[in-house]
Amino acid sequence: MGGEKQARMSLADVAIAGGGIVGLSLGLELRLRGMTVTVLERGQAMRAASWAAGGMLAVEDPQNPPELMELARLSGRLYPEWLRRLEELSSLRVPMRTRWTLQHVGPKVREGIATAEEIGALAPGLRADAVRFRLIEEGSVDPRDICAALPKAFVAAGGTLVEECEVSAVECGAESVSLRTEQGEFAARTFVDCRGAWAKEVSVEPVKGQMVEMRCALERLKCVVRAPEVYLIPRGDGRVAVGATLERVGFDTRVDEGSIAALMRVARELMPELEAMDPVKSWAGLRPGTPDGLPVMGAAAGLEEKRAKSRCWYASGLYRDGILLAPATARVVAQVITREEPDVPIEVFSAVRFADARRGVGKLAV
Cβ distance to ligand FAD smaller for residue 195 or 215: 195
| Selected binder of ligand FAD within 12, 14, 20, 190 (CB under 6 A) | 20
Q: Report the nearest approach of ligand FAD to the CB of residue 8 (Å).
A: 14
Site for ligand FAD in 46-85 (CB under 6 A): 47-50, 52-56
**For ligand FAD, which stretch binds (CB under 6 A), given 98-106, 184-192, 312-320, 336-344?**
312-320
Our CB check for ligand FAD shows the closer of 32 and 40 to be 40
Q: What is the closest distance, in whole angstroms, from the C-beta atom of residue 16 to ligand FAD in the complex?
A: 9
Is 148 or 174 the residue whose CB approaches ligand FAD more closely? 148
Shortest Cβ 318–ligand FAD spacing (Å) = 4
Beta-strand relationship, 312-316 and 296-299: antiparallel
Q: By CB under 6 A, what part of segment 175-234 binds ligand FAD?
A: 194-198, 209, 211
Based on its alpha-carbon atoms, the radius of gyration of the chain, rounded to whole angstroms, reads 21
Phi then psi for 268, rounded to 5 degrees? -70, -30
Among 76, 151, 285, 360, interactor with ligand FAD by CB under 6 A: 285
Q: Are 212 and 239 in contact (CB under 8 A)?
A: no
Select from 42-50, 267-275, 338-346, 354-362 the region that touches ligand FAD (CB under 6 A): 42-50
Check whether the bond before 45 is cis (ω within 30° of 0).
Answer: no
Separation between Cα atoms, residue 255 and residue 208, nearest integer Å: 10
- Contact present, 334 and 29 (Cβ < 8 Å): yes
Instruction: Specify burial of residue 187 (Cβ count, 10 A radius: 0-12, 13-18, 19+).
Output: buried
Measuring CA to CA, which residue among 217, 260, 234 is closest to residue 96? Answer: 234
Instruction: Please identify which residue in 163, 166, 256, 273 interacts with ligand FAD, judged by CB under 6 A.
Output: 166
Question: How far, in Å, are 67, 247, 267 from residue 276 at the CA level?
Answer: 38, 23, 10
Measure CA 162 to chain center. 20
Task: Check the CA dihedral 351-354-357-358 and report its sign.
Answer: positive
**Which one of residues 288, 289, 298, 327 is an interface residue with ligand FAD (CB under 6 A)?**
288
* Longest CA–CA separation in the chain, Å: 71
Within the chain, where are the H helices?
Answer: 21-32, 49-52, 69-90, 116-122, 143-156, 257-270, 322-337, 355-360
Compute φ and ψ for 63, nearest 5 degrees: -80, -15
How far is 33 from 67, CA to CA, in rounded Å?
A: 28
Q: Which member of 244, 300, 308, 333 binds ligand FAD (CB under 6 A)?
A: 244
Closest approach of ligand FAD to the CB of residue 146, in Å: 9
Residue of the chain from 12, 14, 15, 22 that contacts ligand FAD (CB under 6 A)? 22
In this chain, which stretch among 17-25, 129-137, 248-256, 297-305 interacts with ligand FAD, using CB under 6 A?
17-25
Residue closer to ligand FAD (CB basis): 107 or 255? 255
| Minimum separation from the CB atom of position 17 to ligand FAD (A) | 4
Q: Which is nearer to ligand FAD, 319 or 349 (CB)?
A: 319
- Residue 69 or 113 with smaller CB distance to ligand FAD: 69
Q: Which of residues 313-352 bind ligand FAD (CB under 6 A)?
A: 316, 318-324
In angstroms, rounded to a whole number, what is the distance separating the alpha carbons of residues 120 and 140?
Answer: 20
Residue ranges in contact with ligand FAD by CB under 6 A: 17-23, 40-43, 47-50, 52-56, 166-167, 194-198, 209, 211, 243-244, 285-288, 316, 318-324, 366
